[in-house]
Amino acid sequence: MEAKAKVENLETITSLCKRRGFIFLSSEIYGGLGSCYDYGPLGVEVKRNVKEAWWRSTVQARANVVGLDASIIMHPKVWEASGHIAGFNDPLIECEHCALRVRADKLDEAPMKCPKNKEGHKFGEPRMFNLMFKTNLGPIEDAANTVYLRPETAQGIFVNFNNVTDSTRVKLPFGIAQQGKSFRNEITTRRFTFRTSEFEQMEMEFFCRPEEVKEWYDYWRKERLQWFVDLGVAPERLRLRDHDEDELAHYSTACADIEYLFPFGWSELEGIACRGCYDLSKHAEHSGKKMEWLDQSTNERFIPHVVEPALGTDRAILVFLTDAYTEEKIDGNPRTVMKFHPKIAPTKVAVFPLLRKDGHPEKAMELFNSLKEHYMATYDESGNIGRRYRRQDEAGTPVCLTIDHQTFEDGTITLRDRDTLEQRRIELSQVREELFKVLGF
Ligand code: GAP
């Protein structure tokens, strides 16, 4: 059966994000800054959870991967060596009349002719446009102190290759992982957070012997795809697409995209590339420093090859939001529920007093206080209990706990499961054990 997008229209996600405080347009009170977004109270939790899940599975859970946090502004020679100054370009075409600009290589995403479609409105010849944001280091604005906001986190890893190998006990094969902001002056930034000018990346450069590249490439393709599945993304909306020869960068021997079936069709979520020894060789050439691995058992020196899984954090968040979005009918009543994996859910548990009297709020607050040290929790006493459940469903909270009359009689509370809607009584004294059963942590 052909896979279907979870949500037909991206607008469904953008409006939920605004309404519930996941994601807002940047500087909205000034009309918004297209292509930049802010994460609201729920969104920032999702973002932290996604980054934490990636870090755990990529760095913490492995003996042969270490982390790094390099600066965003780097020596301009980095970008000369990496080829970004000369070649990090997109073809830009512009309407000769109204100056509308689109990417010439993305005509499926952009109009073929100027949408004004009036006399005089026509696109000119494509010209190349460098995507790096330029700025100046220091008060004087001249070519000598021009620096760039990094367009990928990867180069921060390559230039630290010697520092990491000299200061740690890593042995080939090993990885260096990094999360952080990247910036690209994208010509067209539509589709919400899918393509923005400022975004975060989570990248890992996995260094190995040249003859082992194929094996590690196959390994990371599987690992990275499985990561999304383990965090609840439907496998039928994920696929690996191998790049055709003409899509490969000149230094790349193989590259695949993990694609997701977004509301606007199958599109790139993460890239997994064999970068050969291109980057280390180029930095060695431009810096005059050797960037090699010494195999101490054979005294052999060589430049390791690299497999790079490169994921956009914001794109991953858009996938988790889209895939979690569910509309269903309960006893004929519609409900919108975000069925996040518990690790991704912004709030893990909500605590309610049934009444705003008779000691219920105090008891509920006591429970909330005891849980919030361990979980991202929330307390809610406003509106009737049904409305409180709906609010937590839209936020994707897996568990709601309610203090009621019976709590004072037999020390039990109600646990309500977001997905099954089952409500059962549990011992207040067993609440951590019960939460562990539902959440898995
Ligand atoms: N170091 C390799 C590299 O940066 P890339 O395919 O250009 O490769 C990797 O980027 C990932 O970063 C993409 O798969 C996507 O998830 C994310 N990404 C790239 N450009 C982006 C943008 N303008 N906005 C949001 N995410 C972006």
pLDDT category, 202, cuts 50, 70, 90? very high
- Minimal CA–CA distance to 314: which of 72, 43, 26? 43
pLDDT the model gives residue 115: 67
363 and 400 inside one domain: yes
Question: Is the pLDDT reported for residue 386 higher than 60?
Answer: yes
Residue 258 located in a structural domain: yes
Name the token pair of 303: 């430049």
Residues 332-375 have pLDDT tens digits of: 999 999 999 999 999 999 999 999 999 999 999 999 999 999 99
pLDDT the model gives residue 222: 98
CA 410 to chain centre: 45
Question: Is the pLDDT reported for residue 423 higher than 60?
Answer: yes
CA of 257 to the centre of ligand 1 (A): 11
- Minimal CA–CA distance to 109: which of 221, 41, 195? 195
Taking CA 103 as the corner, what is the angle to CA 97 and CA 104, rounded to the nearest 5 degrees? 85
Ligand 1 touching residue 315 (CB < 6 A): yes
* Total domain count, the chain: 3
Give mean pLDDT, residues 167-185.
97
253 and 369 inside one domain: no
CA of 19 to the centre of ligand 1 (A): 27
118 and 154 inside one domain: no
Residue 341 located in a structural domain: no
Residue 336 located in a structural domain: no
Q: Which of 99, 130, 161 is the last residue of a domain?
A: 130
- First CA to last CA distance, the chain: 35
Q: Which residues form the domain of 410?
A: 347-439
Residues 113-136 have pLDDT tens digits of: 676 667 777 787 888 889 999 999
Residues 248-281 have pLDDT tens digits of: 887 888 999 999 999 999 999 999 999 999 999 9
CA distance 280 to 210: 13
CA of 311 to the centre of ligand 1 (A): 6
157 and 278 inside one domain: yes
Q: Atom of ligand 1 at shortest distance to CA of 313?
A: 16
**CATH number, domain with residue 426:** 3.40.50.800
Pocket test for ligand 1, best of 35, 315, 318, 319 (most atoms within 8 A of CB): 315
Contacts of 181 (CB under 8 A, 6+ apart): 72, 150, 198, 199, 200, 201
pLDDT the model gives residue 143: 83
178 and 285 inside one domain: yes
CA distance 419 to 220: 32
pLDDT category, 420, cuts 50, 70, 90? very high
50 and 193 inside one domain: yes
Contact between 189 and 172 under an 8 Å Cβ cutoff? The reply is no
Pocket test for ligand 1, best of 39, 78, 106, 182 (most atoms within 8 A of CB): 182
